[in-house]
Amino acid sequence: MKIATFAAGCFWGVEEAFQVLDGVIETAVGYMGGTMENPTYQQVCSDTTGHAEVVEVSYDPQVISYERLLERFWSKHNPTSLNRQGWDIGSQYRSVIFYYDEEQRQLAEASKAALDSTDLYEDPIVTEIVPATAFWRAEEYHQKYILKQKPGYTCS
């Protein structure tokens, strides 16, 4: 099993996008990239802790590749939007790939460069690619949030 961590806006919808993929064993939403230990949702939403809302993806690399996870990441959000996804505004909604080893860093950089070289976006991609730091699991009511809602509920 391997771990990948992505930030692409509100973590509810991002988690939903990854948890349905074959080879993804588990997902958890939380916070990464900030300065405070064990932050709460309210603290992260204050846009003062430096954390991004993230999804930690545990996956079986024999079933799904890191490259496939990157494809899902890029397709889930607008990577040219700085500190914003849709109506969600603030640095906690920034686009980030947190890598755990040199292979993940290289694959992330290559996928970003390949996407940036296409005509898909008018603006440059602003996604950060940075080393993973401590993952702080979000409060339980955030975990699998969309699955806990009425059928048909979605978060785009």
Catalytic residue list: 10
Query: Phi/psi at 152 (nearest 5 deg)?
Result: 95, -15
**Residue 124: exposed, middle, or buried by beta-carbon count in 10 A (0-12, 13-18, 19+)?**
exposed
Classify the C-alpha dihedral 67-69-75-79 as positive or negative.
negative
Inter-residue contact 95 to 7 (CB < 8 Å): yes
DSSP lists the bridge partners of residue 28 as 56
